[in-house]
Amino acid sequence: MRNQGCTVSPRTPTRRTQPRLMSVAALLGLLCSAVTQPRVAHAQQVQQPTGPGNVLVHSKFGGQIFGFDIDQNGTEGVLSEAKTLSNGNNLVAVETFDQQTGKILKVVTKQNNTQDDWVTMGVVGNGAGLVLHEHEVSFLHIKRTFHVLDPLDFNKFTGVWTPPIDSGHLIRGVSRNQGNATNAFFAYDNSGSFIPFVFASNVAANTFGPVAKITDPNFSFGVPPVIAMNTTTNQAVLAQDFGSPTSVPEIGLVDLTKGKFSKFNGVGLGFVNGIAVDSADGIACTATEIDFSVEFYDLKKHTGFSEILPGATNQTQSGSDIEFDPVHKLFLVAQEVSSTGSGSSIQVYDIRGNLVESLNGFNFSNRFNVIGTHIALKPSNRSGFVDGPDSGVTDIQSFTY
């Protein structure tokens, strides 16, 4: 049952310094360097990385965290946890926490000695928490329901979300675009017919757009695609290869108003591990596995280019989750095995593909996670949370950028 995940991939401090005055000659040297090296951020744009912070959020009962997120415009976050008991059953719970202190504020629900699971899918729309409940009716018979905390700081379930899917489909992806009432969803086909669904939903209102049935094999067979949403064009943006580690990815576009699907050829090589979209500028950023690179796409022109992650030399240093900061126009890329420091890193890029900074010294991993690594951003103060540092995935850590 733990393999029936939903959001990303189920089970399968330095300080800022004051700018120094420089000579005219030095300034001209910097400008010349910037002109001849277009893929490196201009010096005046680079900020000293602050990296990992001191706020840790620990799961209340010491269980592995099954998804988390924060309200970008509020003060709270939400997480789910599961702790395996000595008899093989689980203690599972959903909890809200304070972003400033990391303190658990409320145990929203708790079950002991059960085979059930709760999985936090994210904070969607305008501050509503969305959580999946997997109830084991009998062996291999799982009933799935979706519960909403709207708003999150009510610290309780306020309703249910009823997506237009049958028992053969599993919600495997939800777009991260807080502040927009609608999110895009990808429902994986677990029935054997391999026809996934993509649709839009206002979760708080429990309303839905048309369901697009995806028959293209690049997006319907093999490794499920990653999903983001272009809120300006009302399109879901998908990215994946055919399931071969040596394939070149493709980018799928789903018109969420008409339910129509189209695609264009991508760049990079291998599985696509993460995606985020800058809707205002029509730019998507992805991370590919085999060539340990990030890609930047013009979604209107259907063009893109690829960049190897800074200092990366092998597949273990590939990126995973990607999130976008629309206030400062930055893409943040999680890198489990750092190529710029010790442990794990977050690589920060601007929308033109320039590396802005490397945040080093984290400890997060996808190897033992039921739910893959996630970066939760609060753009208003350039902060966020990410998995770790506990290797048992029982906590999350603050950071600034």
Quick one: pLDDT band at residue 243, thresholds 50, 70, 90? confident
Q: CA 182 to CA 314: how far, in whole Å?
A: 38
CB atoms within 10 A of CB 37: 11
CB atoms within 10 A of CB 53: 16
Backbone torsions φ then ψ of 28, nearest 5 degrees: -65, -35
pLDDT tens-place string over residues 291-303 = 999 999 999 999 9
Q: CA 181 to CA 204: how far, in whole Å?
A: 8
pLDDT of 96 over the 60 cut: yes
Question: Residue 275: which of 256, 290, 257, 296 has the closest Cα?
Answer: 296
CA atoms within 13 A on the CB side of 319: 33
> What predicted TM-score, i.e. pTM, was given to this entire model?
0.88
Question: Residue 220: which of 236, 240, 244 has the closest Cα?
Answer: 240
Contact 384, 331 (CB under 8 A): no
Q: CA 200 to CA 183: how far, in whole Å?
A: 6
What is the residue extent of each domain of the chain?
Answer: 24-59+165-400
Contact 99, 105 (CB under 8 A): no
Q: What is residue 48's predicted lDDT score, i.e. its pLDDT?
A: 52
Contact 346, 401 (CB under 8 A): yes
CATH topology of domain 24-59+165-400: Neuraminidase (2.120.10)
Q: Would you call 137 helix, strand, or coil by DSSP?
A: strand
pLDDT tens-place string over residues 253-286 = 999 999 999 999 999 999 999 999 999 999 999 9
Q: Is the dihedral of CA 374, 376, 377, 383 positive or negative?
A: negative
pLDDT tens-place string over residues 331-386 = 999 999 999 999 999 999 999 999 999 999 999 998 778 899 999 999 999 999 99
Q: What is residue 369's predicted lDDT score, i.e. its pLDDT?
A: 87
Name residues whose C-beta falls within 8 Å of residue 363's C-beta, 6 or more positions apart in sequence: 343, 344, 388, 389, 390, 391
The stretch 23-28 carries a mean pLDDT of 34
pLDDT of 19 over the 60 cut: no
